[in-house]
A and B are shown apart, each in its own frame.
Chain A
Amino acid sequence: MLQIDHISKTFNPGTITEKTALSGLSLHLPPGDFVTVIGGNGAGKSTLMNSIAGTFLVDNGSITIDGQNITKWPEHRRAKYIGRVFQDPMMGTAAGMMIEENLAIASRRGRTPSLRWSAPESNRTHFRELLASLDLGLENRLESKVGLLSGGQRQALTLLMATMANPKLLLLDEHTAALDPKTAEQVLRITTNIVESRHLTTLMITHNMRDALRCGNRLIMMHDGRIIIDISGEEKKHLTVKNLLQMFEKAAGSEMDNDSLLLS
């Protein structure tokens, strides 16, 4: 489904702030893979996601989704294939528009907007059902402005929006990190429900090792713009935080220096 070959990205090349965030990274995701991504601060996780989503173009290498080479495509064009949830709950929705209007926009992701009415009444039953599946009581608030929702509600709504037009790939960048533990747990549960029930090919960045271990069928760890650990299947099921730390030290040749990764 997703084929990444030797991509590199250097920010501010030729200046003192030059930073190579991805160096020759390759990754192949078969359809239905649910991959959790971990790694220390600055490892290049977000850069990887932004490269896939087209926030910027990579310097080298190629990115292919479902046989389509999208390496040079602008962000909005890739959106046809990619659903995204950001870390910041503000990023994924238009706060000043109603829930209904946000859902309507997401329901036609990747299709050029026309002069048809944006949020016809006929959508409402469908939207209500979708919202009811979140179990957050949003199904009766179609006409509320999204700005009035809590962070967790907004993230759950963004998740719904990212997945409603059947993306070929779902990208989640620490989408529970800004939430309190209880809400984070709730949003994560909604996430695994949606991803697993619909077999969505998914990349999920997390700082929480426990979440990385218990979600998905595959785990990759990044360090210095490369993938240093890639574990899937049975091996992943039996993995523990302690194993992971040992593997990291062996692969990266240094001690795990990142407290936030250990905390969990």
Chain B
Amino acid sequence: MDLIIPTISQGLLWSILAIGVYLTFRVLDIADLTVEGSFPLGAAVAASMLVKGSDPFTAIVLAAIAGMLAGVVTGLLTTKLKIPALLAGILTMIALYSVNLRIMGKANLSLLQADTIFSRFSWISEEKQFVVLGVGFAVVLLISLLNYWFFGTEIGAAIRATGFNPHMIRANGVNTDVTVILGLLLSNGLVAVSGALVGQSNGFADVGMGVGTIVIGLASVIIGEVLFGTRSFWNCLLSVILGSIVYRIVIAVVLELGMPPNDLKLFTAILVALALAMPLIQSKMKSRKAVR
């Protein structure tokens, strides 16, 4: 029971990644693997700045900018060079592995001695878990409001329309290369912020911390959609955030039940595969019922 607060906090910090994944996977209709590189990129940028004594806010903003640049690279690869989006994301992800090592100078950077966003807000509570919860909640709220506003604007609507029907939005005078690049930029900016926050809350940044993040993001998106609905853009945002929290709770529960932590990624992959197959399974069940 004493795990509940840290679990929700982790869910909040990771939900920023989930929103990023939602923006590409659902809004743009692209499976973007850049995420696996931009998440540790965010952590690496923030950590290397913090170790040098930089201000945590500046560190997070720079992490976001780095993530945005990574998104732009994938965007240029797929729109200008016509490389399929999936492959473009993989290329950026691989390249970022080297980039992240260069930024950190080594594979793992400890933040135990450094001033972080959480130590800045230690006045919220004596217990760190409540600090993380408070900061996580504030950041997620801010990001949700910004997203809601942005995707209601003309540019945001153009990006959403690009995902639904690129022909339509081109016929209405919008350059879809620009909207795709913008979408990838925003998505990876958010993912990097998530990486920066998770790194600070864990107390370290590691080049390997991106492995499997796309699947975690997808799991959150799908769980959220199934449990909390997709009626409107606001509803979708909320679903994704709650999905991320539920995912963390599920993981905490199965670990509590004795599943070895090394099996976590296998478990998550199976969970996502099942969830993605859900529509097919449901229609099979229905048609079987109809036959009877």
A and B bind: yes
Q: Which residues of A contact B (CB under 8 A)?
A: 53, 74-77, 79-80, 84, 86, 90-97, 101-102, 104-106, 108-111, 113-119, 161-162
With beta carbons under 8 angstroms apart, the residue of B150, B154, B161, B167 that contacts A114 is: B154
13 A-B pairs within 8 Å (CB atoms) are namely A77-B175, A91-B165, A91-B167, A94-B168, A97-B157, A97-B161, A105-B158, A105-B161, A110-B173, A111-B173, A113-B157, A116-B153, A118-B156
Please tell me if the beta carbons of A94 and B164 are within 8 angstroms of each other in the complex: yes
Q: Which 3 A-B pairs have the closest CB atoms?
A: A79-B173, A113-B154, A94-B164
Known: A94-B160, A118-B154. A76 touches B165 (CB 8 A): no
Question: Is B265 part of the contact surface with A, judged by Cβ < 8 Å?
Answer: no
With beta carbons under 8 angstroms apart, the residue of A84, A104, A117 that contacts B171 is: A84
Q: Please report the C-alpha to C-alpha distance between residue A84 and residue B167 in the assembled complex, in whole angstroms.
A: 10
Please tell me if the beta carbons of A115 and B168 are within 8 angstroms of each other in the complex: no
Size category of the binding interface on chain B = 20 to 34
Please tell me if the beta carbons of A108 and B165 are within 8 angstroms of each other in the complex: no
Question: Is B54 part of the contact surface with A, judged by Cβ < 8 Å?
Answer: no
Bitwise interface map of B from 114 to 151 toward A, beta carbon under 8 Å scored 1, else 0: 00000000000000000000000000000000000010
Q: Please report the C-alpha to C-alpha distance between residue A111 and residue B155 in the assembled complex, in whole angstroms.
A: 11
Question: Is B152 part of the contact surface with A, judged by Cβ < 8 Å?
Answer: yes
Residues of chain B contacted by A77 (CB below 8 angstroms): 173, 175
With beta carbons under 8 angstroms apart, the residue of B153, B163, B173 that contacts A80 is: B173
Residues of chain A contacted by B283 (CB below 8 angstroms): none
Known: A76-B174, A101-B157. A117 touches B168 (CB 8 A): no
Please tell me if the beta carbons of B153 and A79 are within 8 angstroms of each other in the complex: no
Please tell me if the beta carbons of A105 and B153 are within 8 angstroms of each other in the complex: no
Please tell me if the beta carbons of A115 and B176 are within 8 angstroms of each other in the complex: no
Please tell me if the beta carbons of A105 and B165 are within 8 angstroms of each other in the complex: no
Please tell me if the beta carbons of B155 and A95 are within 8 angstroms of each other in the complex: no
Q: Please report the C-alpha to C-alpha distance between residue A76 and residue B175 in the assembled complex, in whole angstroms.
A: 6
Please tell me if the beta carbons of A93 and B168 are within 8 angstroms of each other in the complex: yes
Q: Please report the C-alpha to C-alpha distance between residue A110 and residue B173 in the assembled complex, in whole angstroms.
A: 5
Please tell me if the beta carbons of B155 and A113 are within 8 angstroms of each other in the complex: yes
Residues of chain B contacted by A101 (CB below 8 angstroms): 157, 161
Please tell me if the beta carbons of A118 and B153 are within 8 angstroms of each other in the complex: yes
- Name which residue of chain A comes closest to B175, CB basis: A76
Please tell me if the beta carbons of A114 and B155 are within 8 angstroms of each other in the complex: yes
Residues of chain A contacted by B152 (CB below 8 angstroms): 117-119
Please tell me if the beta carbons of B157 and A115 are within 8 angstroms of each other in the complex: no
Q: Please report the C-alpha to C-alpha distance between residue A105 and residue B167 in the assembled complex, in whole angstroms.
A: 13
With beta carbons under 8 angstroms apart, the residue of A75, A113, A117, A119 that contacts B158 is: A113
Q: Please report the C-alpha to C-alpha distance between residue A92 and residue B168 in the assembled complex, in whole angstroms.
A: 5
Question: Is B170 part of the contact surface with A, judged by Cβ < 8 Å?
Answer: yes
List CB contacts (< 8 Å) of B172-221 with chain A.
172-176
Please tell me if the beta carbons of A94 and B169 are within 8 angstroms of each other in the complex: yes
Q: Please report the C-alpha to C-alpha distance between residue A104 and residue B153 in the assembled complex, in whole angstroms.
A: 11
Residues of chain B contacted by A115 (CB below 8 angstroms): 150, 153-155
Residues of chain A contacted by B164 (CB below 8 angstroms): 94-97
Please tell me if the beta carbons of A92 and B171 are within 8 angstroms of each other in the complex: yes
With beta carbons under 8 angstroms apart, the residue of A53, A94, A111 that contacts B165 is: A94
Known: A94-B161, A97-B160, A97-B161. A76 touches B167 (CB 8 A): no
Q: Please report the C-alpha to C-alpha distance between residue A104 and residue B154 in the assembled complex, in whole angstroms.
A: 9
Q: Please report the C-alpha to C-alpha distance between residue A221 and residue B176 in the assembled complex, in whole angstroms.
A: 34
Known: A94-B161, A97-B161, A105-B161. A79 touches B155 (CB 8 A): no
Residues of chain B contacted by A79 (CB below 8 angstroms): 170-174
| Minimum CB–CB distance for B34 against chain A, Å | 24
Residues of chain A contacted by B163 (CB below 8 angstroms): 96
Residues of chain A contacted by B154 (CB below 8 angstroms): 108, 113-118
Residues of chain A contacted by B150 (CB below 8 angstroms): 115
| Minimum CB–CB distance for B174 against chain A, Å | 6
Residues of chain B contacted by A108 (CB below 8 angstroms): 154
Residues of chain A contacted by B174 (CB below 8 angstroms): 76, 79, 113
With beta carbons under 8 angstroms apart, the residue of A75, A90, A102 that contacts B170 is: A75
Q: Please report the C-alpha to C-alpha distance between residue A80 and residue B175 in the assembled complex, in whole angstroms.
A: 12
Known: A92-B168, A94-B160, A94-B164. A114 touches B153 (CB 8 A): yes
| Minimum CB–CB distance for B83 against chain A, Å | 19
Chain B CB count within 10 A is highest, among A76, A84, A95, A162, for A76
Seed contacts A76-B170, A102-B168, A105-B158; 9 additional CB < 8 Å A-B pairs: A76-B173, A94-B160, A94-B165, A96-B163, A96-B164, A105-B157, A113-B158, A117-B153, A118-B156
- Name which residue of chain B comes closest to A111, CB basis: B173
Residues of chain B contacted by A75 (CB below 8 angstroms): 170-171
Known: A94-B160, A104-B157, A117-B153. A109 touches B170 (CB 8 A): no
Residues of chain A contacted by B172 (CB below 8 angstroms): 79, 105-106, 109-110, 161
Q: Please report the C-alpha to C-alpha distance between residue A95 and residue B29 in the assembled complex, in whole angstroms.
A: 13
Residues of chain A contacted by B176 (CB below 8 angstroms): 76
- Name which residue of chain A comes closest to B26, CB basis: A96
Q: Please report the C-alpha to C-alpha distance between residue A125 and residue B183 in the assembled complex, in whole angstroms.
A: 32
Q: Please report the C-alpha to C-alpha distance between residue A184 and residue B173 in the assembled complex, in whole angstroms.
A: 27
Residues of chain A contacted by B169 (CB below 8 angstroms): 94, 105
Residues of chain A contacted by B168 (CB below 8 angstroms): 91-94, 102
